[in-house]
Structure 1
């Protein structure tokens, strides 16, 4: 049984169809990536999974349970946590306060210390800057805060929406290395990413979204080697 399953999911913004009956699965322990051009429906897919965007049709199942109509905050309790596109760091709050917000839905706050420690081990720079306010940090540092905050919920499924967007090259390498490490520690990852080269080289499986529909699926290496994917997303003719 897949950890996450989308079955024939459609989403509309008014009369405009953003997703047209997509189906995908994420197995426990995988990194699955969604690639596609701007406007293909990648962020809408993430919002549908996290409960921010209602479906016009179809079904979402998580760990065998139908969560199609479950509120977004209850999906966090079930084990789905998201680092959103644009990072969404609280600018006036410190690193520690931002991270603590990620644990708001948890009942077992007695283990928070070890979760802070996990985040600071993954992101040593955040450990050095616990008292710095989010709004004064670089884009790369804010992305670390966003991912760390999502991990504070102890998710079974981590949703990452464009984690490399707007980052300097050295941060991009670092962020993807840490995503792999998070996965190796036992967290399943669904990754939306425009940097197709990095995303596909890290993914166990991948889906290509084109104007609200899935046009291709395969392993990361298969799609990296696919001529049409190379031409469209890797800049290789």
Structure 2
């Protein structure tokens, strides 16, 4: 497995946000993590990216124990996150934001290759290359956040709520691009409230409730699971 969490517990002060969760992501997969607001999805992402320390349990990536590794060194190892709320640099241009995603890299030719890749995936960003990020629409900022995460050339791309606040047509477009990124060879762990879109594209998925994994299976299995349909898909 490319990524493996075993019995991970995480605390916010005295509040236990994750209760011994275990999950795995295989190389080449799209794995979705679905659940209601406050279930612990973004907390799980922060644990994997190193933004929050875990209290117990282990995180292995590419055969290495990274449980205590600094967040910036996880980026160097190949873990890159597009955070919830996008988190772009609003005063920087599109190109400058993308260049920031490559801050750990030195090979200019490879960085230019990845800029071209991002501009091919997101032609709108190419059109807006010199525009300041903060003046762009929500959809364009989401494209920029994903593009910036790709600039570190990750083995594992963590996508936290990529469809949040987007119009239905843009949601479809973002998810189609996620599939394309995966088909180009990048493994994806996707946290998403839009369970229908996530499960219809994921190879496998986990359901998180109040900091615990309560169900797992293929995306197709969970799409037809009665309890998942009832709770997350708006279908009785």
TM-score, length of structure 2 as denominator length: 0.99
SS at match of 1:93: coil
Query: For structure 1, which runs of at least 5 residues remain unmatched after alignment?
Result: none
In the TM superposition, what is the alpha-carbon distance from 1:111 to its structure 2 partner? 1.4
2-structure distance, mates of 1:215, 1:140: 32
1:193 lines up with 2:180 in the alignment: no
In the TM superposition, what is the alpha-carbon distance from 1:198 to its structure 2 partner? 0.2
After TM superposition, what 4+ stretches of structure 1 lie above 3 angstroms from structure 2? none
1:34 lines up with 2:38 in the alignment: no
Matches within 5 A, 1:6-17: 6-17=5-16
For 1:44, the equivalent position in structure 2 comes to 43
For 1:3, the equivalent position in structure 2 comes to 2
In the TM superposition, what is the alpha-carbon distance from 1:58 to its structure 2 partner? 0.1
CA deviations 1:183-217 (Å, max 9, x no partner) are: 00000000000000000000000000000000000
For 1:207, the equivalent position in structure 2 comes to 206
For 1:179, the equivalent position in structure 2 comes to 178
CA deviations 1:113-160 (Å, max 9, x no partner) are: 111100000000001110000000000000000000000000000000
1-structure distance, mates of 2:209, 2:104: 35
For 1:25, the equivalent position in structure 2 comes to 24
For 1:79, the equivalent position in structure 2 comes to 78
1-structure distance, mates of 2:39, 2:218: 20
Tell me the number of residue pairs that the alignment of Structure 1 and Structure 2 aligns. 236
For 1:152, the equivalent position in structure 2 comes to 151
For 2:57, the equivalent position in structure 1 comes to 58
In the TM superposition, what is the alpha-carbon distance from 1:170 to its structure 2 partner? 1.0
Q: Which moved more, 1:106-115 or 1:131-140?
A: 106-115
In the TM superposition, what is the alpha-carbon distance from 1:49 to its structure 2 partner? 0.1
In the TM superposition, what is the alpha-carbon distance from 1:106 to its structure 2 partner? 1.3
TM-score, length of structure 1 as denominator length: 0.99
SS at match of 1:54: coil
Matches within 5 A, 1:207-226: 207-226=206-225
SS at match of 2:21: strand
For 1:139, the equivalent position in structure 2 comes to 138
CA deviations 1:5-34 (Å, max 9, x no partner) are: 000000000110000000000000000000
SS at match of 2:171: helix
SS at match of 1:159: strand
2-structure distance, mates of 1:10, 1:110: 41
2-structure distance, mates of 1:70, 1:108: 24
In the TM superposition, what is the alpha-carbon distance from 1:168 to its structure 2 partner? 0.8
In the TM superposition, what is the alpha-carbon distance from 1:169 to its structure 2 partner? 0.9
Let me know the Cα RMSD of the aligned residues.
0.5
